[in-house]
Amino acid sequence: MFDTALTAADFAFLARGAGMTIVVTLISVIAGTILGIVFGVFRYQVGPIWAAPLTFVLDVFRSIPLLIQLVLANAFLGTILRLNMSGFTVACIILSLYTAAFCAEIVRGGIEAVPMTTRRAARSLGMTWGQDMRSIVLPLATRVALPSWIGLALGVMKDSALVYIVQVTELLKSTQILITRLQEPLLLLMICGAFYFVISFPLARFGGYLEKRWSND
């Protein structure tokens, strides 16, 4: 007979951790995507020379492991600048910038995939730069960039497990706390994995639906 010390209160504790994972992921992906679009368009528009300082900063966020970024940011903001920021705020800021660094490259690549002849045709019809970007370039670039963006969003969701280092109790940290108390690692890790699956599966399926729909247009 299967026996466990896991209670309804423990399960609710895991659910709250999953909720924190969702909140951190949503904030980071939304803010990071907005910044990534701005940075990606800027890099494409001004060229590699003028965008070199921004490119360097983005390369830093892409190259340094996220765990180190979280530790350094928490120490810098709290110890050096003496800003009284919560771990949740620090986590969202760093994860947003981390997301933006990768998203900017995805956006730039998507824009470059739009044929120049299409852009010239749009401008020859009297479209302004803004109209060309809004009506022609970004819709076409979105189709190219969507699979990579979905992968990025799912990666950020899983990377959010590292925010425990700044005292944010997300899903994995909640699981570790219960493992220490209940000594049932296999069961708790299975439940943790199920939570991650439930969180990520709808996003992956929605991305697949959009790809299939656009491919049939």
Indicate the number of domains in the chain: 1
Q: Is 120 among the domain residues? A: yes
**Dist. CA 116–CA 132, nearest whole Å:** 12
Q: Is 1 among the domain residues? A: no
**Dist. CA 195–CA 205, nearest whole Å:** 16
Q: Is 62 among the domain residues? A: yes
Long-range contact set of residues 162-165: C-beta below 8 Å, sequence gap at least 24: 162/66, 162/67, 162/70, 163/24, 163/70, 163/87, 163/91, 163/95, 165/67, 165/70, 165/71, 165/74
CATH code assigned at 179: 1.10.3720.10
69-92 pLDDT per residue, tens: 999 998 888 777 777 888 899 999
137-162 pLDDT per residue, tens: 888 888 888 889 999 999 999 999 99
Q: Is 38 among the domain residues? A: yes
Q: Is 3 among the domain residues? A: no
**pLDDT tens-place values along the chain, 217 residues long:** 457 778 889 999 999 999 999 999 999 999 999 999 999 999 988 888 898 999 999 999 999 999 999 999 988 887 777 778 888 999 999 999 999 999 999 999 999 888 888 878 877 878 888 888 888 888 888 888 888 999 999 999 999 999 999 989 999 999 999 999 988 889 999 999 999 999 999 888 887 887 777 766 6
Q: Is 26 among the domain residues? A: yes
Q: Is 176 among the domain residues? A: yes
| Dihedral angle computed from the Cα positions of residues 78, 84, 86 and 87, in that order, rounded to the nearest 10 degrees | 0
Domain range for 141 is 8-215
Q: Is 168 among the domain residues? A: yes
Q: What is the pTM of this model?
A: 0.90
